[in-house]
Amino acid sequence: MIRCVTLRLALVASTLLAFSVHQAGAETASRWERWAVHDAASTAQVDHRAMTSILQYLEREERGEVRFAYSELRGQALKFVRDYIDYLERIPVTRLNRDEQLAYWLNLYNAGVIESIATHSGTRKIKQNRGTPGQPGQWWAEKRFTVEGEDLSLEEIEQNILLGQWKDPNILYGLCYGVQGTPAPMPGEAFTGKNVHTRLGSAARAFVNASSNVRVRKKGVEVSSLYAWNKALLFGDDDAALIAHLRSHADDRLARKLDGVSSVSKHKFSWSSLNYRPRNNNFNVTGAGGGGFGGGS
Protein backbone atom coordinates (compact mmCIF):
# COMPACT_ATOMS: atom_id res chain seq x y z
CA MET A 1 0.00 0.00 0.00
CA ILE A 2 2.74 2.43 0.96
CA ARG A 3 4.61 1.52 -2.21
CA CYS A 4 1.51 2.26 -4.35
CA VAL A 5 1.03 5.65 -2.70
CA THR A 6 4.72 6.45 -3.20
CA LEU A 7 4.51 5.51 -6.87
CA ARG A 8 1.41 7.68 -7.30
CA LEU A 9 3.09 10.64 -5.62
CA ALA A 10 6.15 10.17 -7.81
CA LEU A 11 3.92 10.08 -10.91
CA VAL A 12 2.11 13.25 -9.84
CA ALA A 13 5.41 15.00 -9.11
CA SER A 14 6.78 13.93 -12.49
CA THR A 15 3.66 15.19 -14.27
CA LEU A 16 3.78 18.53 -12.44
CA LEU A 17 7.47 18.90 -13.28
CA ALA A 18 6.84 18.15 -16.96
CA PHE A 19 3.98 20.68 -16.98
CA SER A 20 6.16 23.30 -15.29
CA VAL A 21 8.98 22.79 -17.80
CA HIS A 22 6.50 22.95 -20.70
CA GLN A 23 4.88 26.08 -19.26
CA ALA A 24 8.25 27.75 -18.69
CA GLY A 25 9.27 26.91 -22.26
CA ALA A 26 6.02 28.35 -23.61
CA GLU A 27 6.44 31.53 -21.57
CA THR A 28 10.02 31.88 -22.83
CA ALA A 29 8.94 31.40 -26.44
CA SER A 30 6.14 33.92 -25.95
CA ARG A 31 8.60 36.41 -24.50
CA TRP A 32 10.76 36.36 -27.63
CA GLU A 33 7.88 36.25 -30.08
CA ARG A 34 7.07 39.85 -29.17
CA TRP A 35 10.11 40.86 -31.22
CA ALA A 36 8.57 39.35 -34.34
CA VAL A 37 5.96 42.14 -34.25
CA HIS A 38 6.57 44.66 -37.02
CA ASP A 39 4.79 47.05 -39.37
CA ALA A 40 5.25 45.80 -42.93
CA ALA A 41 3.79 49.05 -44.29
CA SER A 42 6.13 51.31 -42.31
CA THR A 43 8.40 53.61 -44.32
CA ALA A 44 10.19 54.97 -41.24
CA GLN A 45 13.98 54.77 -41.45
CA VAL A 46 16.36 54.74 -38.50
CA ASP A 47 19.29 57.12 -38.86
CA HIS A 48 22.50 55.11 -38.42
CA ARG A 49 24.96 57.78 -39.57
CA ALA A 50 26.41 57.79 -36.06
CA MET A 51 27.34 54.10 -36.38
CA THR A 52 29.01 54.81 -39.71
CA SER A 53 31.03 57.55 -37.99
CA ILE A 54 32.00 55.15 -35.18
CA LEU A 55 33.20 52.52 -37.65
CA GLN A 56 35.15 55.02 -39.73
CA TYR A 57 36.77 56.37 -36.57
CA LEU A 58 37.78 52.95 -35.22
CA GLU A 59 38.55 50.81 -38.25
CA ARG A 60 42.11 50.37 -39.48
CA GLU A 61 43.34 48.04 -42.19
CA GLU A 62 46.42 46.07 -41.31
CA ARG A 63 47.80 43.43 -43.66
CA GLY A 64 44.45 43.05 -45.36
CA GLU A 65 42.51 42.67 -42.12
CA VAL A 66 40.10 45.15 -40.53
CA ARG A 67 41.12 46.00 -36.97
CA PHE A 68 39.71 48.37 -34.34
CA ALA A 69 41.50 51.12 -32.47
CA TYR A 70 39.67 50.52 -29.19
CA SER A 71 42.22 52.53 -27.21
CA GLU A 72 40.92 55.65 -28.97
CA LEU A 73 37.47 55.19 -27.43
CA ARG A 74 37.73 57.30 -24.32
CA GLY A 75 36.24 60.53 -23.08
CA GLN A 76 34.11 62.24 -25.74
CA ALA A 77 34.54 59.39 -28.21
CA LEU A 78 33.26 56.75 -25.78
CA LYS A 79 30.36 59.04 -24.79
CA PHE A 80 29.47 59.28 -28.47
CA VAL A 81 29.09 55.50 -28.67
CA ARG A 82 26.94 55.49 -25.54
CA ASP A 83 24.80 58.32 -26.89
CA TYR A 84 24.18 56.31 -30.06
CA ILE A 85 23.12 53.28 -27.99
CA ASP A 86 20.82 55.53 -25.92
CA TYR A 87 19.33 56.87 -29.15
CA LEU A 88 18.60 53.34 -30.40
CA GLU A 89 17.00 52.38 -27.08
CA ARG A 90 14.44 55.17 -27.52
CA ILE A 91 13.26 53.93 -30.93
CA PRO A 92 9.90 52.07 -31.07
CA VAL A 93 11.42 49.11 -32.90
CA THR A 94 8.19 47.08 -33.23
CA ARG A 95 6.76 49.90 -35.35
CA LEU A 96 9.46 49.41 -38.01
CA ASN A 97 9.37 47.16 -41.05
CA ARG A 98 11.38 43.95 -40.93
CA ASP A 99 14.49 45.16 -42.78
CA GLU A 100 14.76 48.27 -40.62
CA GLN A 101 14.44 46.06 -37.54
CA LEU A 102 17.21 43.75 -38.73
CA ALA A 103 19.59 46.67 -39.32
CA TYR A 104 18.59 48.14 -35.96
CA TRP A 105 19.41 45.00 -33.95
CA LEU A 106 22.69 44.37 -35.79
CA ASN A 107 23.89 47.91 -35.15
CA LEU A 108 22.78 47.87 -31.51
CA TYR A 109 24.59 44.57 -30.96
CA ASN A 110 27.84 45.65 -32.62
CA ALA A 111 27.83 49.04 -30.88
CA GLY A 112 27.36 47.19 -27.58
CA VAL A 113 30.33 44.92 -28.32
CA ILE A 114 32.50 47.92 -29.21
CA GLU A 115 31.48 49.73 -26.02
CA SER A 116 32.13 46.64 -23.86
CA ILE A 117 35.65 46.11 -25.15
CA ALA A 118 36.55 49.81 -24.97
CA THR A 119 35.06 50.29 -21.49
CA HIS A 120 36.78 47.30 -19.94
CA SER A 121 40.07 47.71 -21.82
CA GLY A 122 39.93 43.93 -21.93
CA THR A 123 41.00 43.06 -25.44
CA ARG A 124 42.85 40.01 -24.07
CA LYS A 125 39.82 38.78 -22.13
CA ILE A 126 37.23 38.60 -24.89
CA LYS A 127 37.11 34.80 -24.88
CA GLN A 128 36.12 34.44 -21.22
CA ASN A 129 33.77 37.44 -21.31
CA ARG A 130 31.99 36.35 -24.47
CA GLY A 131 31.85 32.66 -23.62
CA THR A 132 29.94 30.78 -26.29
CA PRO A 133 26.31 30.91 -27.44
CA GLY A 134 24.24 29.26 -24.75
CA GLN A 135 27.02 29.71 -22.18
CA PRO A 136 27.72 33.44 -22.23
CA GLY A 137 30.45 35.16 -20.26
CA GLN A 138 29.94 38.27 -18.15
CA TRP A 139 29.86 40.90 -20.90
CA TRP A 140 27.36 38.96 -23.00
CA ALA A 141 25.13 37.92 -20.09
CA GLU A 142 24.81 41.38 -18.52
CA LYS A 143 21.47 43.14 -19.07
CA ARG A 144 22.80 46.31 -20.62
CA PHE A 145 20.09 47.50 -22.98
CA THR A 146 16.48 48.53 -22.44
CA VAL A 147 14.32 48.36 -25.56
CA GLU A 148 10.60 49.08 -25.34
CA GLY A 149 10.77 48.54 -21.58
CA GLU A 150 12.55 45.17 -21.72
CA ASP A 151 16.07 44.70 -20.36
CA LEU A 152 18.27 42.75 -22.77
CA SER A 153 21.78 41.34 -22.94
CA LEU A 154 24.07 40.89 -25.93
CA GLU A 155 23.45 37.14 -25.72
CA GLU A 156 19.68 37.62 -25.88
CA ILE A 157 19.88 40.04 -28.79
CA GLU A 158 22.14 37.62 -30.68
CA GLN A 159 20.52 34.28 -29.91
CA ASN A 160 16.88 34.99 -29.09
CA ILE A 161 16.12 37.99 -31.30
CA LEU A 162 18.44 38.09 -34.31
CA LEU A 163 19.05 34.37 -34.86
CA GLY A 164 15.97 33.11 -33.01
CA GLN A 165 13.39 35.32 -34.75
CA TRP A 166 14.90 35.54 -38.24
CA LYS A 167 16.55 32.08 -38.36
CA ASP A 168 18.64 33.36 -41.26
CA PRO A 169 22.23 32.01 -41.29
CA ASN A 170 23.40 35.14 -43.11
CA ILE A 171 22.89 37.10 -39.89
CA LEU A 172 25.97 35.33 -38.49
CA TYR A 173 28.06 37.44 -40.87
CA GLY A 174 26.81 40.69 -39.39
CA LEU A 175 27.90 39.89 -35.82
CA CYS A 176 31.34 40.81 -34.54
CA TYR A 177 32.90 39.79 -31.22
CA GLY A 178 35.98 41.93 -31.84
CA VAL A 179 38.14 38.87 -32.56
CA GLN A 180 39.60 37.30 -35.69
CA GLY A 181 37.17 34.38 -35.67
CA THR A 182 34.10 36.54 -36.30
CA PRO A 183 33.30 38.56 -39.40
CA ALA A 184 34.26 42.20 -39.12
CA PRO A 185 31.60 44.75 -40.11
CA MET A 186 32.08 45.88 -43.69
CA PRO A 187 34.49 48.83 -43.62
CA GLY A 188 33.13 52.25 -42.93
CA GLU A 189 29.37 51.82 -43.23
CA ALA A 190 26.58 50.90 -40.83
CA PHE A 191 23.77 48.51 -41.64
CA THR A 192 20.57 50.19 -42.82
CA GLY A 193 17.20 48.87 -43.85
CA LYS A 194 18.16 49.45 -47.48
CA ASN A 195 21.58 47.80 -47.48
CA VAL A 196 21.30 45.11 -44.80
CA HIS A 197 20.71 42.06 -47.03
CA THR A 198 23.25 43.14 -49.64
CA ARG A 199 25.91 43.72 -47.03
CA LEU A 200 25.19 40.46 -45.22
CA GLY A 201 25.45 38.60 -48.52
CA SER A 202 28.80 40.21 -49.31
CA ALA A 203 30.09 39.46 -45.81
CA ALA A 204 28.89 35.85 -46.15
CA ARG A 205 30.81 35.29 -49.37
CA ALA A 206 33.96 36.81 -47.93
CA PHE A 207 33.74 34.70 -44.75
CA VAL A 208 32.82 31.38 -46.38
CA ASN A 209 35.56 31.61 -49.00
CA ALA A 210 38.32 32.34 -46.49
CA SER A 211 40.28 29.13 -45.84
CA SER A 212 40.57 30.06 -42.15
CA ASN A 213 36.79 29.60 -41.84
CA VAL A 214 35.97 26.79 -44.28
CA ARG A 215 38.51 24.19 -45.38
CA VAL A 216 37.83 20.87 -47.10
CA ARG A 217 39.78 17.88 -45.82
CA LYS A 218 39.72 14.16 -46.62
CA LYS A 219 37.50 13.39 -43.64
CA GLY A 220 35.07 16.22 -44.35
CA VAL A 221 34.93 19.98 -44.11
CA GLU A 222 36.51 21.94 -41.28
CA VAL A 223 34.44 24.99 -40.39
CA SER A 224 34.41 27.98 -38.09
CA SER A 225 33.02 27.23 -34.65
CA LEU A 226 30.38 29.89 -35.35
CA TYR A 227 28.61 27.25 -37.44
CA ALA A 228 29.01 24.51 -34.82
CA TRP A 229 27.74 26.74 -31.99
CA ASN A 230 24.64 27.70 -33.98
CA LYS A 231 24.07 24.50 -35.97
CA ALA A 232 21.04 23.34 -33.97
CA LEU A 233 19.32 26.74 -34.18
CA LEU A 234 20.07 27.60 -37.81
CA PHE A 235 20.61 24.27 -39.56
CA GLY A 236 18.48 21.82 -37.58
CA ASP A 237 21.69 20.22 -36.29
CA ASP A 238 22.14 18.79 -39.79
CA ASP A 239 25.55 18.71 -41.50
CA ALA A 240 23.91 18.48 -44.93
CA ALA A 241 21.95 21.71 -44.34
CA LEU A 242 25.09 23.48 -43.16
CA ILE A 243 27.10 22.30 -46.18
CA ALA A 244 24.28 23.39 -48.50
CA HIS A 245 24.50 26.84 -46.96
CA LEU A 246 28.26 26.93 -47.53
CA ARG A 247 27.74 25.92 -51.17
CA SER A 248 25.27 28.79 -51.63
CA HIS A 249 28.07 31.27 -50.93
CA ALA A 250 31.07 29.33 -52.26
CA ASP A 251 33.15 30.57 -55.16
CA ASP A 252 33.99 28.14 -57.99
CA ARG A 253 37.14 26.90 -56.26
CA LEU A 254 35.42 26.05 -52.98
CA ALA A 255 32.31 24.71 -54.71
CA ARG A 256 34.40 22.14 -56.56
CA LYS A 257 36.05 21.05 -53.32
CA LEU A 258 32.68 20.71 -51.59
CA ASP A 259 31.36 18.33 -54.26
CA GLY A 260 30.71 15.00 -52.58
CA VAL A 261 31.39 16.33 -49.07
CA SER A 262 28.63 15.25 -46.68
CA SER A 263 29.93 15.84 -43.17
CA VAL A 264 31.66 18.34 -40.90
CA SER A 265 34.82 16.83 -39.48
CA LYS A 266 36.04 19.58 -37.19
CA HIS A 267 35.45 23.14 -36.08
CA LYS A 268 37.80 25.81 -34.76
CA PHE A 269 37.79 29.46 -33.77
CA SER A 270 40.35 32.23 -33.37
CA TRP A 271 39.96 34.35 -30.23
CA SER A 272 42.89 36.61 -31.18
CA SER A 273 41.86 40.23 -30.65
CA LEU A 274 41.31 42.64 -33.54
CA ASN A 275 42.67 45.44 -31.37
CA TYR A 276 44.82 47.99 -33.19
CA ARG A 277 46.97 50.59 -31.48
CA PRO A 278 47.43 53.64 -33.72
CA ARG A 279 50.19 56.17 -33.32
CA ASN A 280 47.79 59.07 -33.39
CA ASN A 281 44.17 59.83 -34.19
CA ASN A 282 41.83 62.77 -33.77
CA PHE A 283 38.25 62.31 -32.71
CA ASN A 284 36.01 63.51 -35.53
CA VAL A 285 32.45 62.25 -35.62
CA THR A 286 29.10 63.95 -35.97
CA GLY A 287 26.34 63.96 -33.36
CA ALA A 288 24.95 60.60 -32.31
CA GLY A 289 21.61 59.78 -33.84
CA GLY A 290 22.05 62.12 -36.80
CA GLY A 291 18.66 63.35 -37.84
CA GLY A 292 16.88 61.15 -35.28
CA PHE A 293 14.13 58.56 -35.67
CA GLY A 294 12.52 58.89 -39.08
CA GLY A 295 15.64 60.43 -40.63
CA GLY A 296 17.42 59.25 -43.76
CA SER A 297 18.83 55.77 -43.94
Name the nearest CA neighbour of 226 among 117, 132, 140.
Answer: 132
The pTM assigned to this predicted structure is 0.85
258, amino acid identity: L
152, amino acid identity: L
Condensed to tens digits (0 to 9), the pLDDT of residues 179-206 reads: 999 997 666 899 999 999 999 999 999 9
pLDDT score, position 26: 46
CB 54 within 8 A of CB 284: no
Please compute the mean of the pLDDT values over residues 154-182 and round it to a whole number. 96
pLDDT score, position 185: 60
Condensed to tens digits (0 to 9), the pLDDT of residues 60-79 reads: 887 777 888 888 888 999 99
pLDDT score, position 294: 40
Please compute the mean of the pLDDT values over residues 71-99 and round it to a whole number. 95
Judged against a pLDDT cut of 50, whether residue 23 lies above it is answered with: no
Report the range of poorest mean pLDDT among 70-79, 135-144, 154-163, 233-242. 70-79
* DSSP per-residue string spanning 2-43: HHHHHHHHHHHHHHHHHHHHHHHHHHHHHHHHGGG---TT--
* Confidence band of 121 (pLDDT split at 50, 70, 90): low
Report the range of poorest mean pLDDT among 70-74, 104-108, 147-151, 292-296. 292-296
pLDDT score, position 286: 54
Please compute the mean of the pLDDT values over residues 25-36 and round it to a whole number. 75
Name the nearest CA neighbour of 287 among 134, 88, 108, 83.
Answer: 83
pLDDT score, position 21: 36
* Confidence band of 285 (pLDDT split at 50, 70, 90): low
3-state secondary structure of 55: helix
3-state secondary structure of 255: helix
